[in-house]
Amino acid sequence: MSTETRPANGASPLGASVAIIMGVSGCGKSIGAFLASHLRWEFEDADWLHPASNVDKMHSGIPLTDEDRWPWLDAVASWIDKAPRSNGHGVVACSALKRADRGVLIGGRTDVRLIYPKGDETLIARRIATRHEHFMPRSLLHSQFEGLEEPGPDENPIIVSIEPPPREIVAQILSAMNVVEGAPPEQSFLHSSGAGP
């Protein structure tokens, strides 16, 4: 799968301050840490912003309800708002499965860019089976796919396949973001106006 990126209506021509890596558990949102390291941006895994009650439910294999998600999404949105004020830029890995979720996280924020590592359920299930330290059990993956609302063109997503090695995926994202090697951060994350490689 090639990298896809589409301009959003009304998107700011200026560089973005925050990138959201979205998708189901096990899709490779951890590439956000590699991306942040390359760009020297702050990184946050939104899983660790869940309240304890949500973590307990997921440990027990109980899917979260919308009511469970709202306080968590508010916490992630608060991080997004604070990141530009701390060091100017940030990357956050957050499932953001539903369009309504992304509405909370992005809303009218024109300086936030959405990145979607995309893969099929069979491949992701195999990956989750090897992860023993995470609180999201494999049994919840199917419910996540059922709830997934893939981002539409109006959300200006960068879409990458999860099949290549992480370094290649990050390189594709950087290309789609028109990153210029050696450029200062405010110049290195511009909205792309064309398709990636």
CATH of domain 4-9+16-187: 3.40.50.300
Average pLDDT over residues 130-153: 77
pLDDT tens for 77-94 read 999 988 755 567 899 999
pLDDT at residue 76, rounded to an integer: 95
Three-state DSSP class for residue 192: coil
Residue 5 in this model has a pLDDT that exceeds 60: no
- More confidently predicted of 24 and 138: 24
Summary mean pLDDT of the chain? 78
What is the residue type of 144? Q
> What's the whole-model pTM score?
0.78
Task: Determine how β-strand 18-21 pairs with β-strand 42-45.
Answer: unpaired
Classify the C-alpha dihedral 45-145-100-55 as positive or negative. Answer: negative
Cα angle, residue 88 at apex, residues 170 and 94 outer, rounded to 5° = 50
Report whether pLDDT(197) > 50.
no
